[in-house]
Amino acid sequence: MKTLFDRVWTSHVVKQLTDDVALLYVDLHLIHEVTSPQAFAGLKREGRAVRRPERTLATVDHSIPTGDRSVPIADAVAAKQVDVLGRNAREFGIELFDLTSPGQGIVHVISPELGATQPGMVIVCGDSHTATHGAFGAFAIGIGTSEVEHVLATQCIALSKPRTLEARFTGSREPGVGAKDLILALIGRIGTAGATGHVIEYTGEAIRALSMEERMTVCNMSIEAGARAGMIAPDDVTFAYLQGRPRAPKGKAWTTSVEQWRKLPSAPKARYDTQVTLDASQIGPQVTWGTTPGMVADITARIPDPAALGTDAERQAAQRALQYMGLEPGTPLAGIPIDRVFLGSCTNARIEDLRAAAGVVRGRHVAPRVRAMVVPGSMRVKAQAEEEGLDQVFREAGFEWRNAGCSMCLGMNDDVLGAGERCAATSNRNFEGRQGRGGRTHLMSPMMAAAAAIEGHLVDVRGW
């Protein structure tokens, strides 16, 4: 009675190293400029080669500017990092989607877009949001730079086998409730360490009803629940998304692959180590109020009173968070004024996200004193949006329309919040200082962020 995860794990064991730890084969290794330079330096120091450059894909996304691409990168340190990746890619024969490439974008957006991410694969990347690729039924994990070096040299990774957690979403979503709300609600329920040491498999009719891009949003934030990875069983939605993409199998190989992929889903009676069930019909739009993604509530709720929390540690953490966020217990979430809006990131910057947000802002205008920006997840997403005229919708509404990158999700470029600025963000982390020192982040769905941009404060998009 195997789970999806068990099947992918077992089929990739190169050698069992200890009772618990196996050497797993890596089908696809994604790299970017920030977590790879030290790995390549290590290879060179030891005189080692990249074992399978053709199983490695590189792009620049984290530290690059999202403004004008015709001028050189102004930040000399970031420019060097980008340059070093370019040189390493050339030296080791790795395909690179650089700043001039129409295929450039956030690593977790471009790999699915290319069809490089496929069901049943083991995928790694020096980035915690690698879990995104689990939406296809791949086992995809974030790793550190030492492990990046290890995978470059050996095409393998040594891992202790995680336990499994089934997150079942029953029922169906209300209009105005997005995939982001499902995952935020789960993190609110189980906590930011609720799935540590586990792979989450998302199941249930509310998951089956999601589009491929929505599934990516759900899996993307598995790490925010502490999970090693998140997975969703591949089905016809998955295959329809993949078919015809540049790196997807073609012709007879496609038919054979689909046959294999259909065998991946968990057996009906498969057992998970842990199980949690949420009723999707009871989940409203979610907004974070604190400094971890687990500090989240329905938009109709009020800021919780730390004094009412269970333990000293929880009370202290909530008090500290509210102090940082500049919020008072009991304040209704709807109505909290914002200064900035960030529509972007590997969580929510694919074409469907931009369509959903554009649908909210069409014919309206960003509130006075609010600065709002759209940063498409990839240059292909940007091109597609422009073909559909979405860029015009955003521009006319007063949004900035940027080039692709991680941008203000982590603020490594010049897209940062100022101290005390409050941001409605579609990204994945509301940690202290994440988007800029002293910046205050509220995580939410693209529709909710778009509505907040128009109103100038947090608002329930269902009332629109």
Only one of the segments 111-119, 221-229, 244-252, 385-393 lies at the binding site for other proteins (rule: CB under 8 A); that segment is: 221-229
**DSSP characters over 142-184:** E--HHHHHHHHHHSEEEEEPPEEEEEEEES-PPTT--HHHHHH
How far is Cα of residue 446 from the mean position of the Cα atoms in its chain? 13
Is the C-alpha dihedral spanning 426, 431, 434, 436 positive or negative?
Answer: positive
Tell me which residue of 84, 429, 398, 88 sits closest to 291, measured CA to CA: 429
**405 within 8 A of 432, measured Cβ to Cβ:** no
**104 within 8 A of 97, measured Cβ to Cβ:** yes
Q: Least distance (Å) from other proteins to the CB of residue 69?
A: 19
Q: Least distance (Å) from other proteins to the CB of residue 316?
A: 8
With tokens 């991946």, the residue in question is 264
Q: Least distance (Å) from other proteins to the CB of residue 58?
A: 15
Using CB under 8 A, which of 4, 34, 94, 379 touches other proteins? 34
Q: Least distance (Å) from other proteins to the CB of residue 219?
A: 16
By beta-carbon proximity to other proteins, the closer residue of 317 and 449 is 317
Q: Least distance (Å) from other proteins to the CB of residue 189?
A: 16
Using CB under 8 A, which of 2, 6, 14, 189 touches other proteins? 14
Positions in 105-134 near other proteins (CB under 8 A): 126-128
The shares of helix, strand and coil residues in the chain, as percent rounded to the nearest 5, are 40, 20, 45
Q: Least distance (Å) from other proteins to the CB of residue 20?
A: 7
How many residues of this chain interact with other proteins, rule: CB under 8 A? 69
Only one of the segments 79-87, 172-180, 378-386, 450-458 lies at the binding site for other proteins (rule: CB under 8 A); that segment is: 79-87
Site string for other proteins, 405-434 (x = CB under 8 A): -----xxx------x---------x-xxxx
Residues 6+ apart with CB under 8 A from 70: none
Is the C-alpha dihedral spanning 346, 106, 412, 344 positive or negative?
Answer: negative
Only one of the segments 98-106, 190-198, 259-267, 352-360 lies at the binding site for other proteins (rule: CB under 8 A); that segment is: 190-198
By beta-carbon proximity to other proteins, the closer residue of 141 and 270 is 141
Beta strands 21-25 and 95-97, pairing class: unpaired
Q: What is the largest CA-CA distance in the chain?
A: 63
By beta-carbon proximity to other proteins, the closer residue of 53 and 197 is 197
Residue 341 is encoded by which pair of tokens?
């809006």
Only one of the segments 45-53, 206-214, 280-288, 396-404 lies at the binding site for other proteins (rule: CB under 8 A); that segment is: 45-53
Using CB under 8 A, which of 7, 8, 30, 37 touches other proteins? 37
Residue 293 is encoded by which pair of tokens?
């993604």
Residue 258 has a CB neighbour count (10 Å cut-off) of: 17
Beta strands 13-16 and 21-25, pairing class: antiparallel
**Which residues are bridge partners to 24 per DSSP?**
13, 157
Q: Least distance (Å) from other proteins to the CB of residue 138?
A: 15
Positions in 289-318 near other proteins (CB under 8 A): 292, 294, 313, 316-317
Within 402-460, residue ranges assigned H as helices are 446-455
Q: Least distance (Å) from other proteins to the CB of residue 459?
A: 28
Using CB under 8 A, which of 2, 69, 80, 245 touches other proteins? 80
Q: Least distance (Å) from other proteins to the CB of residue 365?
A: 32
What backbone phi and psi angles, to 5 degrees, belong to 134?
A: -65, -15
Is the C-alpha dihedral spanning 183, 184, 187, 192 positive or negative?
Answer: positive
Positions in 136-175 near other proteins (CB under 8 A): 141-147, 149-150, 153-156, 158, 160, 162
Q: Least distance (Å) from other proteins to the CB of residue 119?
A: 15
Positions in 351-390 near other proteins (CB under 8 A): none
**Which residues are bridge partners to 22 per DSSP?**
16, 159
What backbone phi and psi angles, to 5 degrees, belong to 259?
A: -60, -45
Which residues contribute to the site for other proteins (CB under 8 A)?
A: 14-15, 17-21, 23, 25, 34-35, 37-38, 41-42, 46, 48, 51, 62-63, 75, 77-78, 80-81, 84, 126-128, 141-147, 149-150, 153-156, 158, 160, 162, 192-193, 196-197, 223, 226, 228, 292, 294, 313, 316-317, 320, 410-412, 419, 429, 431-434, 437-438
